[in-house]
Amino acid sequence: MSASVSAIRLGFAGSVGGTPLIRVRSLSEATGCEILGKAEFMNPGGSVKDRAANNMVEVAMATGALRPGGVIVEGTAGNTGIGLALMANAVGCTASFVVPSNQSQEKIDLLRSLGATVELVPPAPFKEPGNYFHVARRKAEATAGAFWANQFENLANADVHYRTTGPEILVQADGVVDGLVMAAGTGGTIGGTSAFIKERSPKTSTWLIDPAGSGLYSYLKTGEIKSEGSSITEGIGIMRITANFQRARIDDAVQGSDAEMLAMAHWVLRHDGLFLGTSAALNLVGAVKMARRLGRGKRIVTILCDGGGRYQSRIYSPEWLAANGFAGSVDQSTLDFVR
């Protein structure tokens, strides 16, 4: 047996974290920087959200906010719900989720396959009572024995990234990270990870990459939450400052378009064998933009949030791309963007 084989881990919770940091060869060669992706799609539930789900449930059970036989309620774009559903099964609870109806069918189907109850609601701005966040909160308040995970404001989200994701990155990168870049949804990953890395490595440049339709880029640049347009990315971009995002230590912000994200997703699939979701692809767009700005020879780290299987009927479907105005642009924009 190889000496590198890890010790036995305990179930789902014990399998979360410890994901590899991988070199994205094609992008590293194209930019002259070392572009590294934290392979969070290798968590047992398939995404970075497994970390938050695990910690939120463990903290809730330790404090008595959730007891065996209780119900975990959450509003989710999918990935946090998947992690919470698996944790619910592991600790003897059930799960009930409110999901915007514009999320990928793959994620909705998977949530139901895991045993969760899924209520689909039309997409609505946060200020409206029909927004999935508010619907989930009301459902939790009306359900006996319910624990509302509240991933946007629950600091157990950012805390787990401060305790695990940030330290893992620095150890795996031998303490040398010139740049860290990622998008934000709840703000937990960027909040905890950037806080830890800036604390230990103050010279590291930390960036947000924001999709269209999100107000975080404007907030970081001007102090005002404003947005333009919309994006097909799922689970990232927001029009408010969450408690988790307030923990982030961010030096700069850039924007990434849907065309750039799609181009990147198809580029790394064909050139690196990486089958990634929308937020992971956008994060790599951010890594390339940071590489161009910082110059050759830098080590840049981002988060590969989840895999492409949850978006197969969308961004990897020629029919869906054609119907949404992206047909014919993927190959050409890929070449222009990366090179």
Known catalytic residues? 49
Cβ atoms within 10 Å, residue 156? 23
Which two structure tokens, joined as six digits, stand for 254? Answer: 């850039």
User: For residue 144, what are the contacts with CB-CB under 8 A and spacing of at least 6?
Assistant: none
Phi then psi for 201, rounded to 5 degrees?
-135, 75
Rounded to whole angstroms, the Cα distance separating 294 from 240 reads: 29
The torsion angle over the Cα atoms of residues 253, 255, 256 and 257, rounded to 10 degrees, is 170
In this structure, is the dihedral angle defined by the CA atoms of residues 10, 182, 200 and 300, taken in order, positive or negative? positive
Give strand pairing partners of 117: 96
Cβ atoms of residues 300 and 251 within 8 Å: no
**Side-chain-facing half-sphere of 86: CA atoms under 13 Å:** 24
Rounded to whole angstroms, the Cα distance separating 40 from 273 reads: 16
Which two structure tokens, joined as six digits, stand for 289? Answer: 């933009």
User: Nearest 5°: CA angle at 271, between 265 and 277?
Assistant: 20
Rounded to whole angstroms, the Cα distance separating 170 from 200 reads: 9
Cβ atoms of residues 223 and 249 within 8 Å: no
